[in-house]
Structure 1
Amino acid sequence: MRDFVQKQVDTLSVDDGKDRVSVVQYSSDPAVQFYLNTYTTKREVLDSVRGLRHKGGRPLNTGAALRYLRDNVFTASAGSRRSSGVPQVLILITGGRSFDSIDEPASALKQLGVLTIAIGTRGSDPRELQTITGEPSYALSVSELTDLPKVQQQLESSVEAAVFEVTPELPTVIGTLSDTSYCWLQKLLISATVRKSK
Structure 2
Amino acid sequence: QQCCSTRNGPEHLWIQRGTNLQTQRVVRDIVFLVDGSSYIGSSNLPYVQEFMKNVVNQLDVRPDRVQIGLMQFAEHPRIEFYLNTHRTRQEVLDSIAQLRLTGGSVLNTGAAMNYALANMFQSSAGSRRRQGIQQVLVLITGGPAQDEVKRIADKVALGGVLTFTVSSGQADEGLMRTVAFVPNLAYHERSQFFSEFSQN
Quick check: 1:66–1:105 contact (8 Å CA) kept in 2? yes
Where do 1:104-123 residues align within 5 Å? Answer: 104-123=151-170
Q: Is structure 2 residue 147 aligned with structure 1 residue 100? A: yes
Mean CA deviation greater in 103-112 or 12-21: 12-21
Residue 133 of structure 2, aligned match among 86, 93, 96: 86
Where structure 2 has 5 or more consecutive residues not aligned to the other structure, the ranges are 1-47
Counterparts of 1:28 and 1:43, CA distance in 2: 30
Residue in structure 2 matched with residue 133 of structure 1 by the alignment: 180
1:117–1:139 contact (8 Å) kept in structure 2: yes
1:71 and 2:118 are equivalent in the alignment: yes
Partner Cα separation in structure 2 for residue 59 and residue 128 of structure 1:
17
Q: CA deviation at 1:81?
A: 0.5
Tell me the TM-score normalised to structure 1 length: 0.72
Deviation, 1:19, is 0.9
Q: TM-score, normalization: structure 2?
A: 0.71
In structure 2, the CA distance between the partners of 1:16 and 1:65, relative to structure 1 (3 Å rule), is closer
More helix by share: 1
Matched residue, 1:166:
none
Could you tell me which of 146, 158, 176 is aligned with 2:195? Answer: 146
Q: Number of aligned pairs?
A: 151
Of 45, 49, 52, which aligns to 1:5? 52
Unaligned runs of 5+ in 1: 153-198
| SS of equivalent residue, structure 1 residue 119 | strand
Report the equivalent of 2:23: none
Q: Matched residue of 2:54: which SS?
A: helix
**Ranges of 4+ aligned residues in structure 1 off by more than 6 Å:** none
Q: Tell me which of the two structures has the higher relative contact order, counting C-alpha pairs closer than 8 angstroms and 6 or more residues apart.
A: 1
Shift of 1:17: 2.9
Alignment correspondent of 1:181: none
In structure 2, relative to structure 1, the CA distance for the partners of 1:119 and 1:99 (3 Å cut) is same
The residue that corresponds to 1:177 in the other structure is none
Matched, 1:46 2:80: no
Distance 1:121 1:75 in 2: 29
Q: Counterparts of 2:63 and 2:177 in 1: how far apart (Å)?
A: 34
Q: What CA distance in whole angstroms lies between the structure 1 residues aligned with 2:53 and 2:131?
A: 27
Name 1:31's counterpart in structure 2.
78
Query: Which residue is 1:157 aligned to?
Result: none
Looking at structure 1, the residues matched to 198 and 56 of structure 2 have their Cα atoms a distance apart, in angstroms, of 14
Deviations 1:36-62 (A, max 9, x none): 011111111111111111221120111
Q: Indicate conservation of the 8 Å contact 2:164/2:181, yes or no.
A: no
Name the amino acid aligned to 2:113: L
